A and B are shown apart, each in its own frame.
Chain A
Amino acid sequence: MRLLIALALVLGLAGLAYLAGRSRGNRMVVAAGGRIGAVHSRPVYHGAYVAVLALAPALLVLAGWGMVGEGLIEGQVLGSLTAAERPASGNDSDALMNEVRGLVNGDLPQAFNPLAPRLAPVYAAARTNGDLLAGALAVALLAMGGLWGWSRLRPDFRARNRVEIQVRALLLIASIVAILTTFGIVLSLIFESIRFFQLVSPVEFLTGLAWSPQTAIRADQVGSTGAFGAVPLFWGTIFIGAIIAMAVAIPLGLMSAIYLTQYADPRLRKWLKPILELLAGVPTVVYGFFAALTIAPLVRSFAVALGMTDASSDSALAAGLVMGVMIIPFVSSMADDALAAVPRAMRDGSLAMGATPSETVKKVMVPAALPGIMGGVLLAVSRAIGETMIVVMAAGLAANLTANPFSSVTTVTTQIVALLTGDQEFDSAKTLSAFALGLVLFVMTLILNIYALAVVKRYREAYE
Chain B
Amino acid sequence: MATVSSPLAAPAAPIAERQPTDWTTPAMQSRIAARYRAERNFRRLGAAALVIAASFLAFLLFTIVRDGWTGFQRTETRIDVQFDAATLGVDPAAVAGPQGQSLLARADYQALLLKAAEQLGPADGTLSDAAWMELREALMDNPALLGKRASLWVPVRSSIDLLAKGKYDLTAPAESRGVTDREVSDWRWLEKAGRLRTGFNTTFLFGADSTEPELAGIGGAALGSLLTLAVTIAIAFPLGVFSAVWLEEFAPKGRLADIIELSINNLAAVPSIIFGLLGLAFFLNFAGMPRSAPLVGGITLALMIMPVIVIASRVAIKAVPPSIRDAALGIGASPIQVVFHHVLPLALPGIMTGTIIGIARALGETAPLLLIGMRAFVTDVPQGFTSPATVLPMQVFLWSDDVQRGFVEKTSAAIMVLMLVLIAMNSLAIYLRNRFERRW
Contacts and interface: CB of A to CB of B under 8 A. Distances in A.
A256 to B, nearest CB: 4
B265 interface: yes
A451 to B, nearest CB: 12
B60 to A, nearest CB: 5
A393 B4 contact: no
Contact of B397 (A171, A393, A420): A393
A426 B281 CA distance: 10
A322 to B, nearest CB: 9
B269 A421 contact: no
A441 interface: yes
A337 interface: no
A446 B246 CA distance: 25
A413 B367 contact: yes
B239 A179 contact: no
Given A68-B287, A259-B43, A175 B242 contact: yes
B266 A361 contact: no
Contacts of A105: 383
A177 interface: yes
Contacts of A182: 263, 266-267
Contacts of A386: 270-274
Nearest to A332: B53
Interface stretch (A30-38, A185-193, A213-221, A225-233): A185-193
A421 B273 CA distance: 13
What interface size band does chain A fall in? 35 or more
A256 B42 contact: no
B57 interface: yes
Given A178-B307, A445-B270, A168 B250 contact: yes
B42 to A, nearest CB: 4
Interface string A332-376: 000000000000001000000000111101100001100100000
A421 B336 CA distance: 47
B274 to A, nearest CB: 5
B126 interface: no
Interface stretch (A129-137, A279-287, A305-313): A279-287
Contacts of A276: 50, 53-54
Contact of B334 (A160, A189, A254, A356): A160
Interface in B316-337: 334-336
Interface in B336-392: 336, 340, 360, 363-367, 370-371, 373, 375, 383-388
Contacts of B38: 356, 358-359
A445 B269 contact: yes
Contacts of A459: 1
A174 B118 CA distance: 67
Contact of B282 (A72, A75, A188, A446): A188
Contacts of B365: 283-284
B6 interface: no
B280 interface: yes
Given A1-B384, A393-B400, A420-B371, A174 B246 contact: yes
A272 interface: yes
B288 A71 contact: yes
B46 A388 contact: no
Contacts of B367: 284, 388-389, 392, 413, 417
B271 A281 contact: no
Nearest to B340: A167
Interface string A64-85: 0001101110110000000000
A260 interface: yes
B438 interface: no
Interface stretch (A149-157, A290-298, A399-407): A290-298
Contact of A289 (B266, B267, B285, B411): B411
A214 to B, nearest CB: 19
A356 B47 contact: no
Interface residues of B, number: 97
Main secondary structure of the interface of B (DSSP, over half): helix
Nearest to A75: B288
B239 A282 contact: no
A259 B64 contact: no
Nearest to A450: B266
A191 B278 CA distance: 11
A388 B304 CA distance: 15
Contact of B35 (A160, A181, A359, A434): A359
B270 A388 contact: no
A275 B54 CA distance: 7
A387 interface: yes
Interface in A143-176: 160-161, 164, 167-168, 170-172, 174-176
A438 interface: yes
Interface stretch (B108-116, B151-159, B415-423): B415-423
Contacts of A101: 387
Contacts of B4: 346, 368, 462
Contacts of B383: 105, 107
Interface of A: 1, 67-68, 70-72, 74-75, 94, 97-98, 101, 105, 107, 160-161, 164, 167-168, 170-172, 174-179, 181-182, 184-185, 188-189, 191-192, 251-256, 258-260, 262-263, 272, 274-276, 278-279, 281-290, 292-294, 325, 328, 346, 356-359, 361-362, 367-368, 371, 379, 382-383, 385-389, 392-393, 413, 416-417, 420-421, 426, 434-435, 438, 441-442, 445-446, 449-450, 453, 459, 462-463
15 contacts: A168-B250, A175-B242, A178-B264, A191-B281, A276-B54, A281-B364, A282-B422, A283-B393, A284-B364, A289-B396, A383-B271, A388-B273, A435-B277, A446-B266, A450-B266
Top-5 shortest CB links A-B? A71-B288, A386-B271, A259-B46, A283-B364, A174-B242
Given A168-B336, A252-B49, 8 more contacts: A178-B306, A185-B274, A279-B56, A286-B64, A389-B366, A416-B273, A417-B273, A445-B269
